[in-house]
Amino acid sequence: IRRNAGNGLKMHPTVKIAARFPHPIDHGDVPMHRVTEFAPSLTIGGSASRRGHIAMALADTGLPFDAALADWENISVYYAAIRSEGSGGVLAVPGLASPVVTYKLTDGDLSRLARGIVHLGELLLAAGATELHPSILGGPVVRRVDELGAWWDALTRSRANLMTVHLTSTVRMGEDRQRTGADSFGRVWGHRNLRVNDASLLPDAPGVNPQAAIMAIAARNCHEFLAS
């Protein structure tokens, strides 16, 4: 099934910083606070920061990080996520076990990501961080505010180590068959008993965590299914 399926992939491209503090950090839960001053184009918050997460974040620079990891109890990971203008696709290729996933950032996306990682660095230094490791290949480790400017030019398509946990929009829902892969209740066009009921239905990545929207749409679609 390929018609309007797999194209239009949207997400929230995200940069990270592993920040070292002069004291141990609580690594129990993911922080629930976010900075929304620059929303919806940019949001800032905290990430999962177990020892393995910290090791991955420190490794994003491609620089030696053994000394920093030895002090991992004092390090936590933070993110800056953008609402992207770019898009991509998920394509099933005959002969390949896994789909081919593509995503193209726009120049505006790169600019927002650079702005985001600099703002995040400013915030962490103001909060008392003593050392910042960016998710930029070869990106300099920063210890002072006047060093943050080096990240602007360093964050390029080839050097940015980006991540996301919000994937949406590959089977968009709606009533226009020419533009959507499923109807307003997730029924795939042309297939009576095939339904999609997840983030694929969202027409775009909303710039915030889409969990509430996904759950509301899923509950609505289940009610409709049971009623019919």
Residues recognised as catalytic: 166
Burial of 102 (0-12, 13-18, 19+ CB in 10 A): exposed
- Alpha carbon distance 60, 136 (integer Å): 6
The conformation of residue 66, written as its DSSP 8-state character, comes to H
15 with 160: CB under 8 angstroms? yes
Burial readout 187-218 (b: 16 or more C-beta within 10 A, e: otherwise): bbeeeeeebbbebbbbeebbbbebeeebeebe
* Residue 67: Cβ-neighbour burial (10 angstroms; 0-12, 13-18, 19+): exposed
* Phi, psi of 71, deg, nearest 5: -110, 30
d(CA 143, CA 58): 15
Sign of CA dihedral 113, 117, 122, 124: positive
